[in-house]
Amino acid sequence: MESLGARLARLRKERGYTQAELADKVGLIQALVSDYECDKLRMHAEMVLRFAQALGVSTDELLGRKAVKEKSSPRTARLLKRLQPIESLPRPDQRAVLKFVDALLASRGNGHARRK
């Protein structure tokens, strides 16, 4: 059975975060994330909530009470992480980025339909 610390480490890696990046997202230092992942520290309720939110999973998933719905490769996670800032761009800029991606995929023969 996977420990909470091991599950935390796995979820972090699946999402393409380093310990330092996750620590920054939850307001800790990297050494504490390492201690949680090695099960040296017991995670209290507030930390469960903060880690779950930072990793984009439910508290049940983090605690191992519910299977994680979708696993992504570290490569996919890194790509998604790089694309997240696009959401903060103005709508016209978002459309321009998507238009570029659609054109690139179409030129490679990936056949993805253009989204509006």
- Segments making up each domain of the chain, as ranges: 4-63, 81-107
Q: Which has the higher per-residue pLDDT, 41 or 104?
A: 41
What gap in Å lies between CA 66 and CA 62, rounded to an integer?
Answer: 8
Q: What is the CATH class of 4-63?
A: mainly alpha
Per the prediction, the chain carries an average pLDDT of 85
pLDDT at 112: 52
Helices (H), 1-116: 4-14, 19-26, 30-37, 45-55, 59-63, 74-83, 91-107
CA dist 42 → 31, 35, 69 (Å): 14, 9, 25
In tens, the pLDDT along 44-58 reads 999 999 999 999 999
Q: How confident is the model at residue 116 (pLDDT cuts 50, 70, 90)?
A: very low
The whole-number pLDDT of residue 12 equals 95
